[in-house]
């Protein structure tokens, strides 16, 4: 507990110098500290090196902090092995080594996907997912929608949505996205039933949500239909929950989708990519993170990549 507290305090103290957080690992009773630094255009140069932090860290901790010139390699392994009891080793952070896995999965999935390629997009609002949906409609064979944003699509089609969340100014956009999917030959699937709640919860068709009720999760028929559709896929990207999964009674849709993707990945070799904070949280909630092919560590960046945007950090790495 003390070890974690000290490192957390260091992260706060040096956030303006290191421009990021402290990542720590235990090695016997010693500390291996990796501070994320500003990355120079051609790798770590003296201007961007973390070496300037060593004297200050040493003074605060009251011990001599050792510094490695890299974050991987034989030299680093030797230094890690030689950390004395109570010692601290600071690793130079070179981001070029970390980009490979993330970019291989995300960029590869979007630019050169296996077929059939499916995407599952959830979340509360259409406005938050416009760019992602429009970009995916150019690439996927199948697009499954869930979460609160589905009610904007339903209202655009003239359905009663009760008290469900609706982006009133995005009704025309929802209609145009449905038309675009049809013109592109993309199977855009919306739930056929939902869990609606007022004082009580009940399963209702999406075409007739009671006036005093709010849709908070996809229903069992939708879960079954979505699961069957995903059986034919080779790659699936999932971003956004199917309902208000923070509450157990409205988490069934999200958790069942997570379990389905885990089964597809481990049982059928389907590539499953989880992008976005809420999707990751849902997968971790049911303990299935190790079953997925890839879990994105950068939610906002993942969304931008799915939208087809170029990330400044990635461009800098490519120029290095």
pLDDT, tens digit, 9 for 90 and up, residues 197-206: 998 899 999 9
- The predicted pLDDT at position 21 comes to 30
Span 268-284, mean pLDDT?
87
Q: Provide the Cα torsion 64, 73, 33, 29; round to 10°.
A: -70
Q: Could you report how far apart the first and last alpha carbons of the chain are, in Å?
A: 39
Predicted confidence at residue 43, as pLDDT, reads 44
The answer, as to whether pTM is greater than 0.85, is: no
Residues 6+ apart with CB under 8 A from 244: 216, 217, 250, 251
pLDDT 10s digits, 80-103: 888 888 788 887 755 444 455 566
Res 130 pLDDT > 90: no
Q: What is the pLDDT of residue 317?
A: 47
Cβ atoms < 10 Å from Cβ of 23: 14
Average pLDDT over residues 246-255: 95
pLDDT at 41: 39
Residues 193, 204 contacting (CB under 8 angstroms): yes
- What is the spatial distance between Cα 223 and Cα 307, in angstroms, rounded to a whole number? 26
| Domain assignments of the chain as residue spans, ordered by start | 2-97, 100-312
Distance between CA atoms of 54 and 207, rounded to whole angstroms?
A: 63
For the cut 50, the answer to whether the pLDDT of residue 36 exceeds it is: no
Tell me the pLDDT band of 71, cut-offs 50, 70 and 90: low
* Segment 259-267 mean pLDDT: 96
The mean-pLDDT minimum among 90-94, 186-190, 229-233, 264-268 falls in 90-94
Can the peptide bond before residue 116 be classed as cis, meaning omega within 30 degrees of 0? yes
Instruction: Please tell me the least confidently modeled range out of 43-52, 87-96, 236-245.
Output: 43-52
Whole-angstrom distance, CA of residue 188 vs CA of residue 15: 44
Q: CATH classification of 100-312 is 3.40.50.1260, yes or no?
A: yes
291-312 pLDDT, tens digit per residue, is: 998 887 655 556 666 666 655 4
Q: What angle do CA 65, 66, 71 make, to 5 degrees?
A: 125
pLDDT at position 129, please? 84
Q: What residues contact residue 226 under an 8 Å CB cut-off, 6+ apart?
A: 120, 144, 146, 189, 191, 218, 257, 260
Note the pLDDT of residue 108: 67
Tokens 């239909």 map to which residue? 225
State both tokens at 96: 């070029």
Residue 82 or 7, more confident: 82
CA distances from 165 to 126, 134, 145 (A): 10, 21, 15
Q: Is the pLDDT assigned to residue 15 strictly greater than 50?
A: no
- 218-230: per-residue pLDDT in tens? 999 999 999 999 9
């Amino acid at each position: 507990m003390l070890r974690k507290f000290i490192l957390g305090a260091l992260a706060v103290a040096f956030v303006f110098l290191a421009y990021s957080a402290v990542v720590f690992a235990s090695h016997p009773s010693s500390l291996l500290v990796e501070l994320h630094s500003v990355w120079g255009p051609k790798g770590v140069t003296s201007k961007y090196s973390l070496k300037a932090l060593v004297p200050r860290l040493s003074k605060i901790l009251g011990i001599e902090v050792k510094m490695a010139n890299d974050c991987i390699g034989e030299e680093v392994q030797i230094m890690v092995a030689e950390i004395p009891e109570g010692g601290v080793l600071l690793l130079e952070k070179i981001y070029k080594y970390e980009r490979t896995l993330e970019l291989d999965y995300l960029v590869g999935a979007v630019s050169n996907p296996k077929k059939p390629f499916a995407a599952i997009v959830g979340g509360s609002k259409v406005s938050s997912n416009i760019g992602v949906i429009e970009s995916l409609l150019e690439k996927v064979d199948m697009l499954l929608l869930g979460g609160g944003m589905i009610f904007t699509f339903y209202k655009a089609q003239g359905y009663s949505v009760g008290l469900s969340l609706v982006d009133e100014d995005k009704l025309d956009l929802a209609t145009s996205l449905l038309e675009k999917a049809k013109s592109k030959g993309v199977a855009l699937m919306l739930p056929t039933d939902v869990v609606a709640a007022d004082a009580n919860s009940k399963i209702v068709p999406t075409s007739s949500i009671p006036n005093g009720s709010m849709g908070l999760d996809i229903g069992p028929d939708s879960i079954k239909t979505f699961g069957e559709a995903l059986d034919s896929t080779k790659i699936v990207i999932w971003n956004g929950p199917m309902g208000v999964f923070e509450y157990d009674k409205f988490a069934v849709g999200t958790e069942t989708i997570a379990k389905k993707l885990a089964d597809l990945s481990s049982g059928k070799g389907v590539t499953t990519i989880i992008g976005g904070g809420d999707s990751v949280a849902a997968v971790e909630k049911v303990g299935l993170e190790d079953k997925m092919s890839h879990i994105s560590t950068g939610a906002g960046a993942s969304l931008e990549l799915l939208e087809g945007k170029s990330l400044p950090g990635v461009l800098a790495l490519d120029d290095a």
